[in-house]
Structure 1
Amino acid sequence: MREATDIASYLADLEDIPGTQVFTAQRARQGYHLNQCAMSLMKPENRERFKADEQAYIDEWPMSEEQKQALLARDYNRLLNLGGNIYFLAKVFSTDGISVVQGVSTMTGMSVEEYQAMMMAGGRSPVGQRSIRENN
Structure 2
Amino acid sequence: MTKAQDNYLLDLSASRRGYAINRLCGSLADAENRRRFSEDESDYCDVFGLSPEQKRTILERDWVGMLDLGASIFYTFKLAVLDQKSMQYLGGVFTGMSAEEFTAVMREGGRKFG
Aligned to 2:47: 60
**2:97 corresponds to 1:96:** no
In structure 1, the gaps of 5 or more residues are 1-17, 128-136
TM-score (norm 1): 0.75
Counterparts of 2:36 and 2:90, CA distance in 1? 21
Aligned to 2:97: 110
Counterparts of 2:112 and 2:56, CA distance in 1? 32
Say which of 56, 71, 94 aligns to 1:69: 56
Equivalent position SS for 1:33: helix
Deviation, structure 1 residue 122: 1.9
**2:73 corresponds to 1:125:** no
Aligned to 1:23: 10
Equivalent position SS for 1:107: helix
Counterparts of 1:112 and 1:48, CA distance in 2? 27
Equivalent position SS for 1:83: coil
Counterparts of 1:66 and 1:105, CA distance in 2? 23
**2:27 corresponds to 1:40:** yes
Larger Rg computed on CA atoms: 1
Counterparts of 2:23 and 2:53, CA distance in 1? 16
TM-score (norm 2): 0.88
Counterparts of 2:29 and 2:66, CA distance in 1? 19
Give 1:103's aligned amino acid. Answer: L
Say which of 37, 41, 61 aligns to 1:50: 37
Counterparts of 1:36 and 1:104, CA distance in 2? 22
Deviation, structure 1 residue 86: 0.4
Deviation, structure 1 residue 104: 2.6
Percent identical: 36
Could you report, residue by residue, the CA deviation over 1:63-103 in whole angstroms, capped at 9, with x for unpaired residues?
Answer: 21111101111111111110100001110011112222223
Counterparts of 2:103 and 2:21, CA distance in 1? 28
